[in-house]
């Protein structure tokens, strides 16, 4: 990585988890790639499947506080 890229990374890692996730999404979406519509459709189906599993009691919820607490420990 270049010095500039490392500086950007260092600053990005200081962001709160939600802002880091938003940044990741923006950078990822900046790539123009074939099959994107298919990828988006597959991800939408996965999200719907997870919602259905939760509603049927096959999937348990974890509080956002607990999830981001785990993420912070990984830093």
Residue 55: the pLDDT is 95
Domain that holds residue 41: 34-75
Same domain, 56 and 27: no
| Chain mean position to CA 33 | 19
pLDDT tens-place string over residues 6-35: 999 999 999 999 999 999 999 988 887 777
Helix intervals (H) in 1-75: 3-13, 17-29, 36-55, 64-73
Mean pLDDT of 41-48: 95
Same domain, 38 and 67: yes
Confidence (pTM) = 0.48
Same domain, 17 and 40: no
Same domain, 19 and 51: no
Please give the tally of structural domains in the chain.
2
Same domain, 39 and 65: yes
Tracing tokens 């802002």 back to the chain, one arrives at 19
Contact status, residue 17 vs residue 68, Cβ threshold 8 Å:
yes
Same domain, 25 and 13: yes
Same domain, 53 and 67: yes
Residue 75: the pLDDT is 78
């Amino acid at each position: 990585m270049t010095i500039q890229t490392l500086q950007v990374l260092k600053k990005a890692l200081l962001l709160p988890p939600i802002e880091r996730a938003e940044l990741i999404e923006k950078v990822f979406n900046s790539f123009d790639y074939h099959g994107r519509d298919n990828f988006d459709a597959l991800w939408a189906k996965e999200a719907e499947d997870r919602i259905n599993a939760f509603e049927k009691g096959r999937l348990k919820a974890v509080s956002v506080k607990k999830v981001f607490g785990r993420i912070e420990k990984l830093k």
